[in-house]
Amino acid sequence: MKTLMEIEIKNMISRAIDARGRAYAPYSNFPVGACLKGQTGAYYLGCNIENAAFTPGICAERTALSKAVSEGEKTFEALAVVTDRDALATPCGVCRQALVEFCKPDMPVICASKKGEYKVYSLGELLPHSFGPGDL
């Protein structure tokens, strides 16, 4: 896994916390924020955006990814994900699959709790034996 400096981890967690503050999660009451760092050094923030019909809702991680790709960034250095719970949460399966399309297996995924605790996984750890662009 690529190594990240502690100061960069804290920076990305702080940005993800800001994004979490803009979450629209009236149904789950589970606000999530994400910060995706592109190879250019740009940060793309995302929050979950729920919908009364549920299916149109989107997770924070895919919001950030959609913003990045739509702005031309397709290579990423790291992702931070924060919730407002005491326990750490990792990206859901759909987000893991979406990330595999653009991110290498060694990309760090920082998962942080409300208490400021965090754990860093590689994307490959979160989605081993994945199906990606190289399989077609």
Q: Site for Zn ion (CB under 5 A): which residue of 34, 59, 68, 88?
A: 59
Q: Is 36 a residue that touches Zn ion (CB under 5 A)?
A: no
Q: Is 95 a residue that touches Zn ion (CB under 5 A)?
A: yes
Q: Is 92 a residue that touches Zn ion (CB under 5 A)?
A: yes
Q: What's the 3-state SS for 26-47?
A: CCCCCCEEEEEEECCCCEEEEE
Overall size of the chain counted in residues: 136
Q: Is 58 a residue that touches Zn ion (CB under 5 A)?
A: no
Cβ 47 vs Cβ 24: under 8 Å: yes
Nearer to Zn ion, 12 or 83 (CB): 83
- Among residues 61, 71, 101, 117, which one is catalytic? 61
Q: Is 68 a residue that touches Zn ion (CB under 5 A)?
A: no
Cβ 40 vs Cβ 81: under 8 Å: no
Nearer to Zn ion, 57 or 124 (CB): 57
Closest CA to 48 of 66, 35, 61, 39: 61
Just list the catalytic residues: 61
Contact residues: Zn ion, CB under 5 A: 59, 92, 95
